[in-house]
Structure formats: structure tokens, C-alpha cells
Amino acid sequence: MKEIVEYTDYRKFIKDYYDERKRSSAFTWREFARDAGFSSAVYLKYVCEGKKNLSVGSAGSVANAMGLVGFESTYFVLMVSYAHAKGDVAKRAAFEERCALARAHKVRVLGEEEFGYFKSWMNPVLRELAPHMPGAKPLEIAHACKPKISAAEVSETLDFLVRANLLKKDASGNYVQTDKSISMGPVDAVPVAARDMQRQMGEFAVKALDLPLSERDMSGLTMGLTRRAYERIRKEIADFRRRIVAIASEDDDTEQVYRLNLQLFPLSEKLNKQNKFVVSENDNCGGR
């Protein structure tokens, strides 16, 4: 069985614990539930299947039943706390508490670097910018950013990108990307942090409306959709996004760092009848 810090899903951890015990003994769900203080013999089985939730209050009892002590017991409770936290702020706090606990015990949490990367717009911007400004000091890089940031923020961000293996230094001390492009992985904490970045980038997009038409391209459609049409459009957007990444990866050089936001979201509640696919409006602000 893997170390507990390699898990992000407490249900998977419980199931792996049960399966390991089952392979080497006559261990049953009834015995497991009894050890954890549950009257229902199948409660923990249902938890693993996603049919029931484990409360934070009972997480400690389950940890004891699994023989977890000290750091591992606290870590398990924090996994449960994260899973059932309401809203991004509470989820972020639970995840960061889990990371802090792991760091204090000299271990790495799966997803910590990914979580950190998507928390701030400076990470992707400097990941693109720094490799194309060889020899530049942090202050010079700071002046090249929109909006402006401090030299200290540049230094801190570059240090993080190197630690996360998203940038590295070559023999001349210049920054080089370890991969041409990156995307969100399956780590469950990443979408929470990514929403922070999407909010930041959305605010920048509003400010970019004041730029000359030659420097930005913005357009929009308001549509009536069925669920089937919505899913087809989502697939088209995913395919389009992959093609854009391929085009951007063709050139090794960079003249300017851009952000492309793709947004498709509801502007009404669901209707009680089926509606045809109708384009009711086309807003084009400098679009092609």
C-alpha cells in the first residue's frame, strides 16, 4: 500500500487499506465498521463506493481503526476535511493545511506544485517570459509584465518554477522551459486553484477591452442550446484548444506573451421544454 501522502482521495485510501487487509486475512467490512465505531456493517463499504460521506468528526475513529497515529492520523482527517469543504476558500485552506503538515514532516504532497502553479497568473506568464529574456535581471522582467509587478515577486515566482521543475537554468544561467506546454493534470486540488487564476485572467480580459483593436481579439455569442449541442460544443472547444497549443509550439521564439480565455457558461436556468439551437446575438469586438 502506498504512503498516505500519495493519496488525495480518502475513499481510495480506505479501500486500499481494506483490500490489503483482506488479502492477508479474513478481514470483513463488518469487522472494519465495528473497529471504527459504526453500527452499520456496510457503512465504510458505502463510503468507499461514494454512496455515503465520512464526516470530519468520525474521521479520527476511522484513522484509529486503520492504525494511523500522529502525523498520518491528522493527515487523514485533513483529507476528509478537504473532500467535504464547502466552497473554494474552505477547500484551499484545507489543502494548504495538509501541505504544511506534510512539509513539517519532510514529505511532499501529491499535487502541491500543481496547486501552487495555478494559484497566480504570474507563474504562467513568467514561465513564458523568462526564457526569452536571457541575462535579464528580475527588475527588467518585472517591467516587461502586464500588469507591473515587483522584482521581488519575479524572483519568488522564478524560484518556485524551478523548484516545481517547470523551469530550469542552463549552463549560462538562463532559464529554459522543461516542457513546451503544460495542462491541468488529474490531481483533485488543481481545479480549485485554477479557478483563482481564471478569475484573475478574467479581470485582465475586462481591462484589455481598452487596448487597440490591433492588439486584442474578442468576440462572443449568446445561444439557446440543448444538452446534446452543449456537449458537442465543449468537444469542439477542446479540439480547438489542442490546435492552438500545436500552433504556439511550432515557433521556438516569443515576441510577446498572450492569454487566450475560452468561456462557455449559462445565462439562464434550465427550461422545461426542448429548445432548438438558436444564435440570438453576435457580439464582436475586434474579432475576425
Checking if the pLDDT of 65 tops 70, the result is yes
In contact, 65 and 172? CB cutoff 8 Å = no
Higher-pLDDT residue of 3, 45 = 45
Under the banding of pLDDT at 50, 70 and 90, the label for residue 248 is confident
Q: How far apart are CA 146 and CA 248, in angstroms?
A: 20
Report for 25-29, 87-91, 197-201, 221-225: range of highest mean pLDDT: 25-29
Confidence at residue 10, expressed as pLDDT on a 0 to 100 scale: 94
Q: Which of 108, 86, 87, 88 is nearest to 98 (CA)?
A: 108
| 268 exposure class (CB count in 10 Å sphere: 0-12, 13-18, 19+) | exposed
Say which residues have a Cβ less than 8 Å from residue 40's Cβ, sequence separation at least 6: 33, 46
Contact (CB, 8 A) for 234 and 204:
no
pLDDT at 287 over 50: no
The predicted-structure confidence for 195-207, as pLDDT tens digits, reads as follows 778 888 888 888 8
Percentages helix, strand, coil for the chain, rounded to the nearest 5? Answer: 55, 5, 40
Write the DSSP symbol of residue 284. E
Lowest mean pLDDT among 4-18, 39-53, 183-197, 206-220: 183-197
Task: Determine if the peptide bond prior to 147 is cis (ω within 30°).
Answer: yes
**pLDDT tens-digit map of 125-173:** 999 899 999 999 999 999 999 888 999 999 999 998 998 888 999 999 8
Please, which pLDDT band fits residue 111 given cuts at 50, 70 and 90?
low
The pLDDT value given to residue 189: 53
In the chain the domains, ranked by start, together with CATH numbers, are 4-107 (1.10.260), 111-208 (1.10.10), 216-285 (no CATH)
Chain-wide mean pLDDT for the chain? 83
Angle between helices 56-65 and 29-36 (to 10 degrees): 120
Q: What is the pLDDT of residue 193?
A: 64
| Separation between Cα atoms, residue 89 and residue 192, nearest integer Å | 9
pLDDT tens sequence across 11-48: 999 999 999 889 888 899 999 999 999 999 999 999 99
Q: Which of 230, 215, 236, 189 is nearest to 286 (CA)?
A: 215
Residue of 20, 28, 15 lying closest to 1 (CA atoms): 20
